[in-house]
Each structure stands twice: as C-alpha cells, then as structure tokens.
Structure 1
Amino acid sequence: MREKGRTRRLIGLGARTGGALLKNRLGGQADWRALGEALFEGLSELKGPAMKLAQIVSQWDDILPPDLADELARLQRQAEPMPWPRIREALVLQYGDLDTVFRDIEERPFASASMGQVHRAVTHGGETLVLKVQYPGLAEVLETDLFQVRRLMRLGRWFKVPQSRLDALFEELATSLREELDYLAEAEALARYRERYRDVENLVIPEPLPALCGPHVLAMRYVEGTPLRELEGTDDERRQKIATALADWITAELFTHGELHADPHAGNFAADEQGRLVIYDLGAVIAVPKASLDSMLQLLDATLAQDPMAMDQAMLKMGGRQGHGAPLALYREAAEAVSPLFAPGEQDFSDVRVHRRLRELSPKVWAAMDRLQPPADTLLLSRALNGHYWNLVRLKARLNMAERTGPLLARARG
C-alpha cells in the first residue's frame, strides 16, 4: 500500500463527499447514487479505516439518502478482494512454505472486508479450515488513514454535530480499529465465547486453532452456513429461529455478561443446516458498563411512557443534551414511533410503518442537533444496537419485546 497514493485518493473522496453534502445543504439536488458508486469503487480498493467507517455508516439506512445507503451497503457484501499474490505474501510470512502446512488454499476469497479477507484451506489431514488474512501493510498505514478519516468526519459539523461529539466518535472508531488488527486477541475472544455458550444449542461459534494463528492470520475450523443477508427469502420458520437466537444472544451479552458484539453487519452472521445462528467474527467486542445500560433503560422507560419531560431528564443524565430548550415535540414523535415495537404481544419487525416513521424522524433529529446529541460515551453501543436491530428487520423477526424488556425495566426502576 503506497501511503501517498492512499492519502490523495482519500482526500479526493472526502472532497467529493463534502461537495455533495454542501450542495444538498444549500438546497440543490445531490446525486447520491453517483457519490455512492464513487465511494464504493474507491474504498473497496483502498480498504482500511475509511472503508470501515463507510460500512458503519451504511448500517444507518434509516438516516442516509436511500441511493447512497444502497451503494455503501455493497461494501458489506461485494467489496473487491485484494489480489492473491499480496495475500499469499502475508500467509508466507506467517507459515513459511505453505505446501508443508496446507494441501490446498483457495485463491479466491469467499469473504472480503475492510481489514482482511477470508480464504478456505485444507490441511494434509483433510480438514477444512478458514484463514482470515489481514491485508498486508495495513498496520503501517493505519494512523495515516485515521488522520484522513478525522478530516472526513469534520463534515459532520455541517449538521450541527459539535466537535466534541465528532472527536468522541473518532476516538471510538480509532480504538476499535486498532484492536481489530490484533488477530491473536480475536482468537482468544472466540475461545472465550465458545466456553461461555457451550451449552446453548442454537448458537455456533467457530473453533480457533491457536497453533495456526498469528498477529495477522486467524485460523478457524470451517463452519458452513447461509449468510444472514441471504436468509430474507428463506422459509419463515428458519428465519424466526435465527431471529430468536440473535435476540436471545444480544440480551444475554448485555445483561448477563456486560459485553456486546460491536460489528453487526450481516456478513458476520449465518445459519447452519440445523437452523442455528453462526457467529463468525469476534474482532470487535466492547465492554458495556452497568451504568450505561441503566441510563439507556431509563430513557426507554420514559419513551414507552411517552413522557417527554422524563425523556429529556434521561438524555441530560446521559450527557446527550446541550443548549437551551428541550425538543419536547420531537420526543413525543420519537416515543410514538418507537412504542409500537414494545407493545404487548408479538411485534413484527418487518412492519414498514415503523421504519417509515423512524425515517421521517431523521431530518428532524438532524435539525435539532444544536440541542440533541448522542451521548459521547454510548456512541459505539448505540451504533452496535442499531446494526443488530436492522439485522432483525432483515430477518422479518416477530418478537415479544414487551416480554423481553419488562423484567429489565422493572429491575432498573428498583
């Protein structure tokens, strides 16, 4: 990866993005599809932090213009793979003579992401493995890329997002990316999660192979599965089984173990032939302090009570408000939009009326950014929960959310 060339391309993409945002802000009609195509092509080739940021943003498909969201979403499923010779270099650095370790390695990856790509391999004993290979040279250019990403994020000030919030979001992203480069830490996370959920029948976590793992290559036993994004057209029973497993797992992670999988894009999950949820990637796991959970439950409680003043008090307590004048009308609309998902009985996550109301709220939220801000210390948690929510939407989940959240809310009140 040539650092100067990467920097020029990132600056160019940033300028094009800024131009589109400025045109839209001044009342013009930005070509979001063309911008999305340019970002897909450029970031797909460059990989790294900027592509990761775009993948994160693409999960906010209730906020982005639909054409832009559609193009950025391609980064989660169609990113251009790095040529095999470069990947082979990384494997040789890890293993030396590949022929002495593997009988075969598929040169074409079956998954490509922002920080690495995944290749199937077969050992001389006939066992099929997957090798998650970090893109060569990525660690060396990470800090330079992050500097350019910080410049890109300054565009958020045009939407009245304070610099302190942008700084917090950047630090969150930078920390998670630095941690994600440590494949030995991910191997340890896989082992920890396998032990934690060894008795949960509807959950599958691949087994890491420590003898074959290194700082830039993660080796796991191969677990075949149908990617979550391909389950939308499958039979309803299978989808509901996976959706229930996903919701149960997220609940256990948060309220039993105080952690959360923080990279919820659909490519990290699958369903095996037995209808179990497969979790492939544990490169981004965050600790969730009890105080953060209690604050979010307090906000949810006020929202379900449709009490704007209590919602504002909860936001102030979380550090999510600034300036003068609570946006009470916006709180009321938000409560009316969210409450149906938590009504008694089974709720349908494919109900387009809920998503339409949430989407209609987005420009009003942006307009109130001088008073209403996401709390700085819950940005990553909020983003992860948002991504998991949209995975449930894709699965057309039907869940009794009132039954799930009722005991949690009662415990928080006590």
Structure 2
Amino acid sequence: MRERGRTRRLLGLGARTGGAMLKSRMGGNSDWRALGEALFVGLSELKGPAMKLAQIMSQWDDLLPPDLAEELARLQRQAEPMPWAQIRTTLVEQYGDLEAHFREVEEQPFASASMGQVHRAVTHSGETLVLKVQYPGLVDVLESDLAQVRRIMRLGRWFKVPQARLDALFEELAESLRGELDYRAEAAALARYRQRYADHRRIVIPAPALDYCGARVLAMHYVPGTPLRDLEQAEPATRQQIAEALADWLTEELFRFGELHADPHAGNFACDDQGRLVIYDLGAVIAVPEARLAQMLELLESTLLGDPLAMDAALLKMGGRQGEGAPLALYREAAEAVAPLFAPGEQDFGDVRVHRRLRELSPRVWAAMDRLQPPADTLLLSRALNGHYWNLVRLGARLDMQARSQPLLEWARQRRVGGEP
C-alpha cells in the first residue's frame, strides 16, 4: 500500500477512535467492541508502528474498556499475515538464492507481529531455524506512520495525561521501533542473554544463527514451546513454575543487570516440555538506572505503609513535577488497592477482587496525571511492569510478594542511608 493510502487509513482509524472516546467522555455509550474489531482489521493489514502501539495498549487491561482491550489483544495472536510472495522478496534480498541456503522454508508463518512475521526453515545440514522476517517497505513508511501515531497518541489528553508526558512516551516508542528495524541488534541481544543465562535451570534463550542473520532477517535456532497465552488449561503446577521463573527473572534483570524486557505481551514467552520459561523476543529491552529503582522502591515502601504524604514526597523526589500532587484520598485508595498483594504469605494473583479494584482505580489515577506528572521515563517503565503483572495474573501465580520485596526495600534504604540519590 502506498504511503498516502496508509496515511489516509491511519487517520480514519484515529478519527473513529477519537469519536468513540469523545462520546464516552460526554456520557454516551460507545460500542467499544465494534471499534476494536475495526482497529483489529485495519491495523492487522497495515502492520507497523500503529499496530505496535495497539499491541502495547492491549496490555493496559486496567485502563481500556474490556471489549476494546479484548479485540486489540487479538493482534498478538491472530493478526493477518502478509502474503508469502512479499515476504519472499525480503528473504531473497537477504540470501539471494533461497534453495542454496535452505532445504525448506515454510510459506505459512506461525506468528505474525507488527514489524515482521516468523517462518520455520530447515538448512541443508538439517537444522531447524526460525526466521523473523521484517515486512518489506517498512523502512520507507516508518517515519510517516510514526507521525500519524503521534496524532493518535494525542487522544491521551482526554485521559488528562499532560502533553509533555505523551510526547516523551511517543519518543520512547519511536526510538524503540527505529531500533527494532535493525535485526542485527536483536541478534546481539540474544547472544548477550544466552551468555548471561547459560547456566540457568529455568530459563531458555534461543541461540541466534549468526551466519543467517541480517539487518531485516533474524535467524534463531528453533525452540518449541507452548505460548504463555495458551497455558490457561495447563496443570496448576506448570503455570506456577513458569510464574515463579518469570518473577525471578524480572527481579534479576532489574536489580542485577539494570534492564527490563519492555514488550511483555504473552506471545513473547512460552513454556517448553521441561517446564522452563522460554523468552523468544528481545527486540525491546530498556535500561533502568539504580537511582530510578531506588526511588520507585521508596514509593512502594510509603505505599505499603499507607502514608499518603510520604507517597507524594516520593513522587516529588522522582522528578517530573513541582508543587501540589494528587488528592491525599487518591493516595490512600491506591495504597489500599496495592496492599493485598503484599500481605504476609503467598498471594493469589488470580484473585479477581484484587485486580478488579486496580482496574476501578486506574482511570482515576490517569485522570489525576496533570497533577501527578510522573517523570517521562517512568511511563514506559511502569507500563512494561504492568504488562508483566497481567501475565502473572493470567498464569494465576501464587507469590509471596512481601518476602520478595523486603530485601529490595532494604537495599533501597541502604542507598538512602549511604547518601546515594
């Protein structure tokens, strides 16, 4: 599709979304299911940054209307694949004669994403590889697509999110997508993570097949597994094992390596036949400085103490605003909503009462964003953590969050005592 046609369709989808949001804010009843279906069809065909944004938003279960979130979530697992003839063009540009490199390349993809799709291939030596192939022409339309995504994101002002925060969130998204265009960077990340977790008993990272990797094709050795989103019917022990591995891995990533997997949709994770956590996609990893972690833990500690003044002071210390914050009553309600997850003993992440309360509270938190004004870099970080939280919810995890958090809180206290920022 030519750039002008893409722009017209994106503008149309944005206008339809804006109309539904405006109607809802004025007290009307919007058909979120119909809007979600239209966005699914349109973005599934267009691919690119707008589809990526919709996939990210589908993880915001606490913010979007349930019918809309459910339809957008289909983009993670049911997006219409690009025809093989177009994908083959990219493969030929990478390899030249395909038959000279592969005994077979499956024309039917087994996964379709926003920036590329995944095909199995077998080399002449008998190795089974996974080829993540970038959609042809994506480089040419990326910047014009991003311009339309910026316009769509401005609808967030109706949630009272300050424009400066929306702009900062857009820049983080845009930088991430530009980085994802060069698959050699993801191949390097896979190699780094393979080395990092080479001896880990519960985590599997597919090995990149570097001889077959290029700027627009990422080749990995095939690691079969059941996607996390399909584990709902698995044995409780299996789901618990994966949930613990995921929680432990996230903690280690943040506090040992200062990084966070920032694309937590369920298709990026799986369970292999030994009950290990498979991490397929490392295209979006963000750095998290120690100072920011310590500040977030200070906020968590004041939240668990139920101290609204301390919560406001912690937010102020994080930067992003000056002066008055949110109403103290909102801080209290937020503390009361979070507290059950950190009660003594194992807590059931499948307890609908907990996340129902978080869902109900979330729109009020977003409505107070013009007063809270969190620092821009924490918006993407908090959304990524939120996505991982909902993965734990889907797994029905049972975790002792109090025991898990105490060493981390103590670490943050020691930093404050030592005078570190």
Q: For this structure pair, what is the TM-score category when the shorter chain's length is used for normalisation?
A: over 0.9
Equivalent residue runs for 1:13-412 within 5 Å: 13-321=13-321, 324=324, 326-412=326-412
Q: Which amino acid aligns with 2:245?
A: A
CA RMSD of aligned residues (A): 1.0
Q: Deviations over 1:161-184 (max 9, x none)?
A: 111011101101001101111100
Q: Indicate conservation of the 8 Å contact 1:342/1:400, yes or no.
A: yes
8 Å CA contact 2:59, 2:265 repeated in 1: yes
- Stretches of structure 2 lacking an aligned partner (at least 5 in a row): 415-421
Q: 2:417 matched to which residue of 1?
A: none
Q: What is the aligned length?
A: 414
Partner SS state of residue 214, structure 2: coil
Structure 1 residue 56 displacement after superposition: 0.6
Q: CA deviation at 1:381?
A: 1.2
Deviation at 1:316, TM superposition (A): 1.1
Task: Provide the rounded CA distance (Å) in 2 between the counterparts of 1:66 and 1:42.
Answer: 20
2:166 alignment partner, SS class: helix
Give me the whole-angstrom Cα distance separating, in 2, the residues matched to 1:162 and 1:66: 24
Deviation of 1:322 after TM superposition, in Å, equals 5.6
2:161–2:367 CA contact under 8 A, matched in 1: no
SS in 1 for 2:207: coil
Residue type of the partner of 1:354?
V
- Kindly, what percent of the aligned residue pairs are identical? 79
Give the Cα–Cα distance (whole angstroms) in 1 for the partners of residues 370 and 323 of structure 2.
Answer: 7
- For normalisation by structure 1, the TM-score amounts to 0.98
Note if contact 1:226-1:270 (Cα within 8 Å) is conserved in structure 2: yes
Change (3 A) 1:320 1:390: farther
TM-score (norm 2): 0.97
- The aligned residue for residue 419 of structure 2 is none
Q: Residue 325 of structure 1: CA displacement?
A: 5.2
Q: Matched residues in 2 for 1:326 and 1:78: separation?
A: 40
Amino acid at match of 1:58: S
SS at match of 1:326: coil
Shift of 1:2: 1.2
Q: Distance in 2 between matches of 1:374 and 1:352?
A: 28
After superposition, what is the alpha-carbon deviation per residue over 1:332-389, rounded to whole angstroms, capped at 9, x for unaligned? 0110010111111111100111011101102322332331233212122111111111
Greater CA drift, 157-166 or 61-70 = 157-166
Amino acid at match of 2:353: R
**Separation in structure 1 between the aligned mates of residue 227 and residue 114 of structure 2, nearest angstrom:** 18
CA distance in 1, matches of 2:325, 2:169: 25
Contact 1:227 1:269 survives alignment (8 Å): yes
Q: Is the Cα contact below 8 Å between 2:326 and 2:368 reproduced in 1?
A: no
**How far off its partner does 1:320 sit?**
4.9
After TM superposition, the structure 1 stretch with the greater mean CA deviation from structure 2, 151-160 or 309-318, is: 151-160
- Distance in 2, Cα, partners of 1:150 & 1:54: 13
Displacement of 1:36: 0.4
1:169 partner letter: L
Indicate yes or no: 2:4 matched with 1:11: no
Alpha-carbon distance in 2 for matches of 1:292, 1:372: 17
Q: What letter is aligned with 2:53? A: L
Once the two structures are TM-superposed, the CA of residue 133 in structure 1 deviates from its matched residue by: 0.3
Deviation, structure 1 residue 321: 4.6
Assess if the C-alpha contact under 8 Å between 1:190 and 1:208 holds in 2.
Answer: yes
Letter in 2 for 1:100: A
| Shift in Å, 1:70 | 0.6
| Cα separation, 2, equivalents of 1:344 and 1:373 | 32
Runs of 4+, deviation exceeding 4 Å: 320-323
Question: What residue identity is the alignment partner of 1:152?
Answer: I
1:216-266 deviation digits (Å, cap 9, x = unpaired): 000010000000000011001111111111011000000000011111100
Q: Distance in 2 between matches of 1:85 and 1:150?
A: 31
- The alpha-carbon deviation at position 319 of structure 1 amounts to 2.6
Instruction: Kindly provide the amino acid, as one letter, of the partner of residue 105 in structure 2.
Output: I
Structure 1 pair 296–85 and aligned structure 2 pair: CA distance change class (3 A): same
Q: C-alpha separation between the residues in 2 aligned to 1:219 and 1:327?
A: 51
CA apart distance, 1:137? 0.8
One-letter code of the match for 1:311? M
State the distance in 1 between where 2:76 and 2:230 align. 13
Render the CA deviation track for 1:372-413: whole Å, top value 9, x for unaligned: 233212122111111111111111011111111101101111
8 Å CA contact retained: 1:319, 1:376: no
Distance 1:338 1:172 in 2: 27
| SS, match of residue 370 in structure 2 | coil
Q: 1:322 touches 1:372 (CA, 8 Å); kept in 2?
A: no
Give the SS at the match of 1:130. Answer: strand
Secondary structure, in 3 states, of the residue corresponding to 2:108? coil
In 1: Cα distance, 2:409 partner to 2:18 partner: 42
